[in-house]
Every structure is written in structure tokens, then in C-alpha cells.
Chains A and B, each alone.
Chain A
Amino acid sequence: NAGVTQTPKFQVLKTGQSMTLQCAQDMNHNSMYWYRQDPGMGLRLIYYSASEGTTDKGEVPNGYNVSRLNKREFSLRLESAAPSQTSVYFCASSEALGGISSPLHFGNGTRLTVT
């Protein structure tokens, strides 16, 4: 039982390059999320998908796009990477949105450096 799988684990980009971070979950969860984690800033929500076919902006969406490909997969795209996007990116999933009885299950992160 893999849970939430993120690829790649590490990535180095040059300013202006693009890339897509992949995330897949095998728990049949409805909701999926992308967070970034920076020192002293905690976890900040980039985008989320409450259910298949819907996506919504979180706290820090600028510079990112997302695609909920199907119920299992939720990708995050950086169209033109900037040094400010250097961070650790976490994908998470939950049974439903809101978290009252739906804790988040996190992947192990993608460590992205933009030079």
C-alpha cells in the first residue's frame, strides 16, 4: 500500500524552465492538495481539488497551475520557474474536504531548487 507517491524526489531547474510535479494516491480519496514548505513559513496551500473535476486556488497559487487528471492523480506545473519557487513541495490527499474526519495523508515531498 503506497499511499501518496510523488515524483520526482529532487529537481534542479534554471530560471525560466518549466516542469510538472506528479502525485498519485491509491486510497480512493476524493480530495487532493499541493503544499509548499519553506523554513519559518510552515505549510502553505498552493492549490487543491475537492473532488475529481474541480480545482481551487489556495493561499499561494501565483506561478503555478494544476490538473486533476483523474481521481488518483493531481499534478502541479511550474510554467516559468523562479528562484522564489525553491521549496519542498508536498502532495496530500484526504477522503473529503474540510478535515473534520478526514486527516491528510502526505507524500514524501519533492525538493526543488531553482537557480
Chain B
Amino acid sequence: TQLLEQSPQFLSIQEGENLTVYCNSSSVFSSLQWYRQEPGEGPVLLVTVVTGGEVKKLKRLTFQFGDARKDSSLHITAAQTGDTGLYLCAGAGYSTLTFGKGTMLLVSP
């Protein structure tokens, strides 16, 4: 069974601060996806990283895939209240995706 551990589980910060969320596993994944889920809605894909060492930027969000394709990080610069939500990483392996339990981010004004 492939497991993904996310840390921290919960993060509460002020608007304008920077933060990093981590997604770690002992298994190798062919690719890794990051989703954001807002209250009352389903998760929505933010990005897919495929190559070890890959870095992708989405405005103030920077995603990195580890060289060994076992871990990933999401860095948010100058967080805004609109960034509030549950951030989920999901690894693609043999068949269906394996999801981490998520990091709940609360950005206060």
C-alpha cells in the first residue's frame, strides 16, 4: 500500500505571510497532483508534476517534485484570504490515485 503523509495537518497564518506544505512518501510515484478543496465543494486540481526535480509555478504558488519522486512541496508566497482551503496531494502509482489526508490552511486578514 502506497501512503502519502502531509504536514502540517493544520496551518493558521496572517495575510501576507509565506508558507510551505509538505507531502512525503516512502514510495515512488510516476506523478503527483495537488488539489485545493474549498468548504462545501469538491477538490479542484491545481497542478501535476511528473519529472523528478520539477518545479512549477502558478502565480504565487510554487510546486516542487522531489528528485526521487517520493515527495513534493507547495510554497505559497504572500498568502491571501482566498488561499484558505484544504490542500491535498495525490500520487499516481499502479492504478488509482493515493491521496494524502490534507493540510487545512486558514489565512486571516
**CB of A97 closer than 8 Å to a CB of B:** yes
> Are B30 and A42 within 8 A (Cβ)?
no
Category for how many chain B residues contact A: 20 to 34
Indicate whether A42 sits within 8 Å of B42 (C-beta atoms), given known contacts A99-B90, A99-B92, A100-B50.
Answer: no
Within 8 A of A (CB), among B48-99: 48, 50, 88, 90, 92, 94-97, 99
Q: Report the minimum CB–CB distance from A24 to chain B (whole Å).
A: 14
A33 at the interface (CB under 8 A from B): yes
- Let me know if B96 and A97 touch, CB within 8 A: yes
Q: Number of A interface residues, CB 8 Å?
A: 24
A104 pairs with B101, CB closer than 8 A? no
Q: How close is A23's CB to chain B, nearest CB, in angstroms?
A: 11
Q: Are B97 and A104 in contact (CB under 8 A)?
A: yes
A106 contacts B96, C-beta separation under 8 Å: no
Interface of A (DSSP majority class): loop
Q: Which residues of B contact A103 (CB under 8 A)?
A: 33, 45, 48
A95-114 near B? 1/0 per residue, CB < 8 Å: 00111110111111100000
Q: Contact: A108 with B33, CB < 8 Å? A: no
Write the residues of chain B forming the contact surface with A, with a CB cutoff of 8 angstroms.
Answer: 30-31, 33, 35, 40-45, 48, 50, 88, 90, 92, 94-97, 99-102
